[in-house]
Chains A and B, each alone.
Chain A
Amino acid sequence: MNDTVRESLSALMDGEATELELRRILSADQEAIRTEWADLHRSQSVLKNEANPFIGWDISSRVMAEIADEELANSAGTGWKQAVSGLAIAASVAAVVVIGSLGSNMFSGSSQMVADNNGVSGRVYPAQASSSAVGGVAVSAQAQASPAGPLLNDDAEARKRFEAYLRKHTDRAAFNNGQGMVSYARVVSQESE
């Protein structure tokens, strides 16, 4: 990460980032950005002498993983509804990631800010920005590909390949997963369907 990006990030933290700086941040290496962002917050809270139990929290990967799972479950339907919901998901993910990573301040009030992710209803992640020092930052979320692609369970050709691969995989897995020969039930039960 170069100094320009670092400065933009610092501006974002102060709530003073311009649109151009935001774009620069979004197109930079995400892993590095995240680390830098966490570091900035850590040093700030040290300066302010704040204790923060949420430091080091990064919910973004967990959110991505959950959406990857849910995407697959929902991918049976096609058409415009899916496209629209995909867009909405992308927008909400981007919002959660950005707002979520605004970090420490927003978690100050309530202890129950993180979504109870077990609910299947709606795609609502109650990560609300409280009226704290961090100003609202407008981010234009672009529709991006969903974290997991389509589920191919209905494709006969793909299923046949999956079965063949699973058998070969189990030849290795059975001796390494601590379960032994029982692992082959995964292959056998599939073939007898």
Chain B
Amino acid sequence: MIFRLACTALAAVLCSSPVLSVESGSELLSKMTHSHRELNYRAIVTYQLGDQLSSYRITHTVHDGKEFEALQSLDGDHQDLVHHGHDVNCVHPGPQLIQLFGTDEEQGFYRYYDIDVGGEDRVAGRDVVTLSIKPRDVYRLGYKLSLDNETGLLLRSDIVNQQGKVLERFQYVMLDLNIPDDELAVEGAIEVQHKDIETDNSSPIQMRVWRPNWIPAGFTQLKDSDDGSVSMTYTDGLAVMSIFVEPLLKSEAGAVSVAEGGMRRGASVSYTVAFPENGMFATVVGEVPMLTAKQVAKSLSWDQ
């Protein structure tokens, strides 16, 4: 009996050890989507766009199940943002897409990207594992992510275009996981709200009379994003894009001059199309290829 027990225990150890040491791409990604919301940390992070580099201090704490987060710019003008009161258990659609299909790598999110777990590396003095995420179609961008081995925090993220060129990079240069869970007082900070707690009762919800007729496969509409009639937001788990619609004619200012065209900065692009017959113009903004933004903007139609 004891012998049999010992055998079972040995077998269990032998079977489980390789599973524990090597996590799959989907497990790593899934961990990434929630670890940054659950831990207490302070970090210095750099944001690089072409030859410009800016740096920020990020502070994140969880107290009584509520998140507090602050982003403070460290160079140039003071630009500070805070966000608090977010329930740590509130899961948004983007992470849901990644977590939901984590077990089945041919479903949902995993149908649109190839994910390779790369080698070990080191970022901000910590051991990381690298993930290379390549889109399977032309409608999304690629990602090279470095995740902290211990916590799953995203310590470095490159967004690359279809040709492999890096469009922007976030990189942590310092990470401190031993901080108290008190909220940080940041003077003059702008309060960031997330949409589903913001219930605006002052203006009656208008019916949306327009819709895009084309959205790349795998993008889901965020329910909380549709504030009345002016915008819609879609995500595939990593890429997010929003559609904004405004009237061409504003009562007091007269006609707005709107030229069709695109705008680009880092990984973010926008594409504007005017629909004079409906008196409106639409702009698609997001971290997607210009082609996607353009095709979505062009596909809009109005109910007659």
Give A residues with C-beta under 8 Å from B.
61-62, 64-66, 68-69, 72, 117-118, 147-153, 155, 157-159, 161-162, 165-166, 168-169, 171-182, 184-186, 188-192
Q: Which residues of B contact A (CB under 8 A)?
A: 29, 32-33, 36-37, 45, 47, 49, 52, 54, 56, 58, 60, 69-71, 73, 76-77, 79, 81, 83, 92-95, 98, 137-138, 154, 157, 161-164, 168, 170, 192-195, 222, 225, 231, 233, 235, 237-242, 244, 257, 259-268, 270-272, 283, 285-287, 289-291, 294
Say whether, besides A151-B264, A179-B157, A192 and B54 are in contact (CB < 8 Å). yes
On whether A169 and B81 interact (CB within 8 A), knowing A68-B294, A158-B272, the answer reads: no
Contact of A177 among B58, B77, B239 (CB under 8 A): B239
Q: List 20 A-B contacts (CB under 8 A).
A: A64-B291, A69-B161, A69-B291, A148-B271, A148-B291, A149-B261, A149-B294, A150-B260, A162-B285, A166-B270, A168-B231, A169-B241, A173-B235, A178-B33, A181-B58, A182-B58, A184-B81, A186-B268, A188-B73, A188-B81
Q: Is the CB of B162 within 8 A of A65?
A: yes
A174 to B262 alpha-carbon distance, docked (Å)? 22
Residue contact B235 to A176, C-beta cutoff 8 Å: yes
Which of chain A's residues have a CB closer than 8 A to the CB of B94?
175-178
With beta carbons under 8 angstroms apart, the residue of B54, B225, B283 that contacts A172 is B225
In the complex, what distance in Å separates the CA atom of A179 from the CA atom of B157? 9
- In the complex, A181 Cα to B70 Cα: how many Å? 8
Contact A188 B79 (CB under 8 A): yes
Partner of B49, one of A65, A151, A189, A192: A189
CA distance A62 to B135 in the complex (A): 12
Beta-carbon contact of B270 and A147 below 8 Å: no
Complex: how many Å from CA A162 to CA B260? 13
Measured in the bound complex, the distance between the Cα atoms of B192 and A87 in whole Å is 47
Closest-CB distance, B265 to chain A (whole angstroms): 6
Given contacts A175-B194, A185-B56, A189-B47, contact A69 B73 (CB under 8 A): no
* Distance between Cα atoms of A87 and B31 in the complex (Å): 49
- Give A18 Cβ to nearest chain B Cβ, in Å: 32
CB pair B71 A185 closer than 8 Å? yes
Q: How far is A174 from B67 in the complex, measured between Cα atoms in Å?
A: 14
Cβ contact within 8 Å between A173 and B69: no
How far apart sit A178 and B268, CA to CA, in the bound complex (Å)? Answer: 16
Contact of B285 among A148, A150, A165 (CB under 8 A): A165
Nearest chain A CB to B187 CB, angstrom units: 16
- Nearest Cβ distance between residue B193 and chain A, in whole angstroms? 7
Cα A147 to Cα B172 with chains together (Å): 37
Q: A65-B291, A172-B240, A185-B54 are in contact. List 16 more A-B contacts (CB 8 A).
A: A68-B291, A68-B294, A69-B162, A69-B291, A161-B283, A169-B242, A172-B195, A173-B240, A176-B235, A177-B94, A178-B29, A181-B71, A181-B81, A182-B47, A185-B47, A186-B47
Q: Report chain A residues within 8 Å CB of B261.
A: 149-152, 155, 158
Chain A residues within 8 Å of B36, by CB: 179-180
A132 to B276, CA, bound (A): 50
Question: A159 vs B285: C-alpha distance in the bound complex, in angstroms?
Answer: 12
Q: Are B81 and A171 in contact (CB under 8 A)?
A: no
A191 CA to B32 CA, complexed, in Å: 28
Whole-angstrom distance between the Cβ of B263 and the nearest chain A Cβ? 5
B73 cross-chain contacts in A, Cβ below 8 A: 188-189, 192
Closest B residue, CB atoms, query A60: B138
* Bound CA–CA A153/B79 (angstroms): 23
Closest to B82 in A: A181
Q: Could you tell me if A172 and B233 are in contact, using CB atoms closer than 8 angstroms? A: yes
Q: Closest CB of chain B to A154's CB: distance in Å?
A: 10
In the docked arrangement, what's the CA distance between A155 and B263, Å? Answer: 9
CA distance A100 to B259 in the complex (A): 34
